[in-house]
Amino acid sequence: MANTMLELTGIHKSFGENQVLRGIDLIVDKGEVVAILGPSGSGKSTMLRCINHLETIDKGDIKIKNQTLAENGIYVDEKKQREVLSATGMVFQQFNLFPHMTVIENLIEAPIYVKKISRDEAIKTAESLLEKVGLSEVRDRYPARLSGGQQQRVAIARALAMMPDILLFDEPTSALDPELTGEVLKTMRELAAEHMTMIVVTHEMAFAREAASRVIFMAGGVIVEENNPKDFFNNPKEERTKLFLRNML
Amino acid sequence: MEKFLNMTVLIFQGAGVTLEIFFITLILALPIGALAALGRLSKIKPLSLLMEFYVWIMRGTPLMLQLLFVYFALPVVGLRLPDIAAALLAFTLNYAAYFAEIFRAGLQAIPRGQFEASKVLGLSHWHTMKRIVFPQVLRIVLPPISNETINLVKDTSLIYILAMNDLLRVARTIVQREFDMTPFLIAAIFYLAMTAVLTWAFKKLEAHYGKYDA
Ligand SMILES: Nc1ncnc2c1ncn2[C@@H]1O[C@H](COP(=O)(O)OP(=O)(O)OP(=O)(O)O)[C@@H](O)[C@H]1O
Ligand SMILES: [Mg+2]
């Protein structure tokens, strides 16, 4: 299908004896915002990190924009991997900005060296992205001088600077003080409104309810239930989902 | 006064040997130490073990013993090096081991997230090491490298035992000949000046590479 951005089929992943993913099937279409919920240790991060090969799968197929990254657990060669993965971007819980570079330097490093864009052009794009996330004024500061919320918005801008087609978020607000989560969620809502394809592992129920187009509930390394947010929250079908939601709300 | 000047000239010649040992050791030991650190952290088990063994030997025995070994024991097995080369070999191997430990600790202090963020952005492994990891490692290792460098200034005086005319030996020769303690004073001032310059230079470097701290 032309609109398929991501296709996971039968993904298995173990850490030693610990079977963390036990057969994940997932198709994400262009423009979808998929929220992934689930108890701690259910494999949410691992699944997300398998998508961009931060973790190596044992079994299964991964296709990004209809290009194969891995088939039957065997990855395509390095060069091809880079090409396929260039469609993805990621935002981490701990931001992972480069501390020795200013905000603008963080944003232009990869576009210049990976995309081979001219420095002037990279700076122009970076400046407009900073404006978009409302951080033009911190352009020349080092990350340590920013609040957590500002750092995470810079991290989002840095990911966007590579013009990914699909953006992965692993608990982007979990490391933030409660009063700072709002500004990051606002930026993410704006991206969702622009139909950016996003997969968001989160504990923010309000974000899942209001900004997601689909909610997935994981437990024990499998997808237990998925639905549109309204039905997911109002009429959960599985016992495990009900229990989880009762504890969350 | 003339006697004092003569002394100073002689002592400065001795200082030349000291400086030569110091700079050449530093220039060789830093990159060798960095490579040894990479070897130590390598996934190739034999290499990693070999580097661990090397560091263990070098840090676990006195530098004086290592000097004597290179100078007196190697010739027994037919490896005779010129004096200065022997001294440089011992100093370089010893200091490279200390630098290797410093670099290893520095590398291991870089959070995994830095590597992951680089990978996700598509940066190559080499580019990540050069542009993301190395500048941060440098910032971490500068203070301990500064310490070791200042130790090296003082350790150069160990070549005294190898009968090479370094700063300290020249000073002592004059003291014995003239029954005048001034040469020791001049030597002390020389060592102090050198460590003062180094301390200043490393402060500058630390300020330069630390400018991104909160
Ligand atoms: N690198 C690793 N090595 C070994 N075990 C790991 C590794 N990463 C994750 N695990 C294990 O895999 C399981 C799933 O972890 P994962 O981080 O995917 O869970 P999660 O759903 O993201 O949980 P949380 O909500 O706490 O972030 C856990 O049991 C964890 O201990
Ligand atoms: Mg997680």
Query: Which residues neighbour B170 within 8 Å (Cβ) at sequence distance 6 or greater?
Result: B10, B11, B13, B14, B183
Pocket test for ligand 1, best of A14, A21, A36, A42 (most atoms within 8 A of CB): A42
CB A201 within 8 A of CB A22: no
In whole angstroms, give the CA distance from residue B180 to residue B12: 17
pLDDT at A1: 52
Query: B150 CA to chain A: closest CA distance, Å?
Result: 27
Q: What is the ipTM of this complex?
A: 0.94
Q: Which of A211, A207, A212 is nearest to A248 (CA)?
A: A207
Yes or no, beta carbons of A92 and B111 under 8 Å apart? no
At position B31, the amino acid (one-letter code) is P
| Mean per-residue pLDDT, B96-123 | 97
Q: Which of A12, A34, A29 is nearest to A66 (CA)?
A: A29
pTM summary value: 0.88
B214 chain-A contacts, CB cut-off 8 A: 142, 144-145
Which ligand has the shortest distance to the CA of A36? 1
Best to test chain A binding among B121, B124, B136 (most A CBs inside 10 Å)? B121
B139 chain-A contacts, CB cut-off 8 A: 100
Q: Which of A135, A131, A132, A199 is nearest to A164 (CA)?
A: A199
Going by alpha carbons, the residue nearest to atom 26 of ligand 1 is A40
pLDDT at A249: 67
In whole angstroms, give the CA distance from residue A157 to residue A132: 8
Yes or no, beta carbons of A96 and B114 under 8 Å apart? yes
| Lining residues, ligand 1, CB within 6 Å | A 15, 18, 20, 38, 40-46
Q: How many CB atoms lie within 10 A of CB B190?
A: 21
Yes or no, beta carbons of B113 and A54 under 8 Å apart? no
- Decide: helix, strand or coil at residue A69: strand
Q: State pLDDT tens for residues A192-218.
A: 999 999 999 999 999 999 999 999 999
- Decide: helix, strand or coil at residue A102: coil
Yes or no, beta carbons of A98 and B117 under 8 Å apart? yes
DSSP letter string over A18-30? EEEEEEEEEEEET
Strand-strand pairing, A197-201 and A166-170? parallel
pLDDT at B12: 84
| Residue entry with tokens 């990350």 | A143
| Mean per-residue pLDDT, B126-142 | 94
Going by alpha carbons, the residue nearest to atom 28 of ligand 1 is A41
Q: State pLDDT tens for residues A106-121.
A: 999 999 999 999 999 9
The set of long-range contacts for A76-82, using a CB threshold of 8 Å and a minimum separation of 24, is A81/A53, A82/B122
B111 chain-A contacts, CB cut-off 8 A: 94, 96
| Residue entry with tokens 């060798």 | B32
pLDDT at B166: 83
